Structure 1
Amino acid sequence: MGPVRTRGIVRVTAAAVALGLVVAGCGKDEQKSSTTSTSTSTSTSTSTSTSTTTSAVAAPAGEHNYETLLIKAADIPAIGAPWTGDTPKTTLDPAPPDVTQTFTSGTNAINVSIIIADDAAQAATALTGAANSVPSQVTGTPVPLPAVTPDATVTIGTSPDGKSAMAALLFTVDRTVVVIVFGSGPGDLSPVPQDYTETVGKAQVAAIQAALPNLK
């Protein structure tokens, strides 16, 4: 899986989370659910990158800096070339807010998306919405990964076209929902190691635990 598919699933997931909150009667705007149908295209790098960029806005002065929740490139174990991250993108409207960043190392990519719910109960409900969006983007069966968090699951497989290895790690930390998507370049079908997803997941948990108290 290349960066294009990685970014695609993150935007779909953020919309699915909001939809889950609406269904649960948590008072989120239904406009967010409509984003799902307009964010699923991953046919070309240009269209996906444009979809991601235009839906993201910088946090205005005085707003929470959600970017502090993201893992740092230096905290991701190297698998060759050092990981480098693109510019984080924060979406504030429509709610719930989310922040995303893509890290690359050669042809490998990791995309992190963090959705910030109102409370832990809403995050738990939203996790179901996020999980429901994964099968359309990553093949495989989700399995528990409790070493990351009690509700963490990881799906290790390939892109739907079977051309790239792919994995998706989902979990909650307090009132946040985290989706981490791992992918290799076209033609690389070596499965993403589960212990590697666990290591990255734990580092992301630590980053949220350190930053979230400052956002309350």
Structure 2
Amino acid sequence: MREYLDYKGISKYKFCNDLGFSNKFLDNSSNMGTDKACKILHYYPEINSEWLLTGNGPMIKEDNTSVMIMKNDRKTADAIHVNQEIPLYDLEAVAGLRELFNSGEPQRVLDTIKIPNLPKCDGAISVTGDSMYPLLKSGDIVLYKETEFENIFFGEMYLLSVKLNDWEEYITVKYVQKSDQGSEYVKLVSQNSHHQPKDIHISKISALALIKASIRINTMM
């Protein structure tokens, strides 16, 4: 971390003060935890996460890609996996989210994503729409872990498929909260205040996955 601060001309005091770290943090920054790493990557998005966590690779990302592990107000804790390859799926090539979860066929895989020290993820897809803006914007990639409704943690962010009728479904990313209409309903809440919360019956949810991390490409060089 000292190498980056010297490269950018940032004083140790300013770095620690801006991020709320103790002045002794830089003396042992090689053993930083995931929480501190996430905070650094959020504050300095040009830093290559692999370089920060392992010392390998270039210090500055070539395409300025931001990786954010979803930790704000999380109700659950995740085991960290040092190395894993996460398939990036083409959601448009399948009939729906449930089919994607059930099949996971190789032909649906556009590429694989490899980021060190992430929670266990089952897959990744690109998101569309602005309902979770500014936390997520159209084109961002979300990494998810499949789950069932009985294992839900209210208040967390989920990728879910909602049945509109026998032929159509609505795939979205929302916060899932308890509904005032009773235990058979849930409230879907957006980050964007222009989108109103919506209560739906749990029978309408055909697929569900907990969002573990997101990736945003800030510039294309």
The normalised TM-score by structure 2 is 0.28
Greater helix content? 1
More strand by share: 2
Q: Which has the larger radius of gyration?
A: 2
Which structure ranks higher in relative contact order (CA pairs < 8 Å, sequence separation ≥ 6)? 1
Q: State the TM-score, normalizing by the size of structure 1.
A: 0.28
